[in-house]
Copies of this chain bind each other. A is one copy, B any other.
């Protein structure tokens, strides 16, 4: 594996660089018969589109998706779905200087070490634009999951030290503010913090939470392909994520078993739990509660304030990164987290169809 393929059954392969001709994704393994239009994808892609907020790069990118294969008469055919977004607003000139040195916090140095050279225009393959393919594929996964009764609530849970107010959580507010936060107070505080950060030519970290509703019990494979392990890889593979938590996350290491163990209880004739410290996953397999996950994003590494670094001639220099950069990653990454969660879950849901002999027999009895 060279790293651009995700999933075993609903398998996606993304391609494209920040300043190449286009970016895209091929999905192999999407079941046949799913009604699908470009609008389904576009609406998801628009959630990561820059240029519409005070707190994101002023670049205007329409990021219009085109479906090239795998759809016939409005439905998926079961064969590969190829999707493409053309690059239109890239100014390669902005980046020429970057070719000569290694930006702190970026992948310039590590790509050079790995490949011997790099496409230095806008970060090439390590650019945030790489997530276009993920989001386009995630839109399809999310649509299919919706038909199975599985839905997502995803939002920015903190901006720097400003955390959301869980007592005032309002899911409907998430799409109404340009930071994708779930309550007006934290949005207000975060906005003020961001203004300060931008005035300092600096950037700031953030965290994103994703709640997955309607998950059936029994999903996930034992041992290495646990549901939480698969989610962890999916989420940690997003650029700038440095920590992934499931359920109570890091807090579990401080707590006792008598607190952490979620008690089972019968409710309305079905088995449920009195609490959800486990975040909906026990032994790597879903327990029917909501799945809770959290990703921590570092601050955008591109900042205009001066930084020390080294150039390709191995000289110590000082640089100040120019160009149009988001001062925070989380808000635009909300849909990327959701897309990756959807892709990881759908893959395991499909795998799970063959967990039992009776399922196999029933399937072929028909």
Contact = CB atoms under 8 A, between A and B. Distances in A.
A189 interface: no
Contact of A285 (B68, B114, B285): B114
Contact of A148 (B2, B33, B124, B364): B364
A323 to B, nearest CB: 14
Nearest to A197: B256
Given A104-B264, A296-B249, A298-B253, A229 B223 contact: no
B26 A13 contact: yes
Given A14-B223, A17-B79, A252-B296, A31 B237 contact: no
Interface residues of A, number: 171
Contacts of A256: 160, 197, 200, 202-205, 299
Given A21-B68, A28-B5, A111 B205 contact: no
A264 B360 contact: no
A244 B236 contact: yes
Interface in A196-231: 197, 200, 202-207, 216-226, 228-231
Contacts of A216: 364
Nearest to A24: B82
Which among A26, A118, A222, A286 has the highest number of chain B CB atoms within 10 Å?
A222
A48 to B, nearest CB: 16
A259 B160 CA distance: 12
Which among A26, A34, A248 has the highest number of chain B CB atoms within 10 Å?
A26
Interface in A346-366: 349-361, 363-364
Contacts of A351: 1-2, 9
Interface in A21-74: 21-24, 26, 28-34, 66, 68-70, 72-73
Given A29-B1, A260-B298, A284 B252 contact: no
A228 B221 contact: no
Contacts of A158: 253-254
A39 B20 CA distance: 19
Interface in A282-333: 282-288, 296-303, 305, 307-310, 314-316, 330
A222 B353 contact: no
Nearest to A258: B202
B224 A359 contact: no
A262 B243 CA distance: 17
Contacts of A359: 31, 353, 363
A261 B300 CA distance: 9
A153 interface: no
Given A5-B224, A253-B207, A361-B148, A258 B77 contact: no
Which among A34, A109, A298, A308 has the highest number of chain B CB atoms within 10 Å?
A298
B222 A253 contact: no
A202 to B, nearest CB: 5
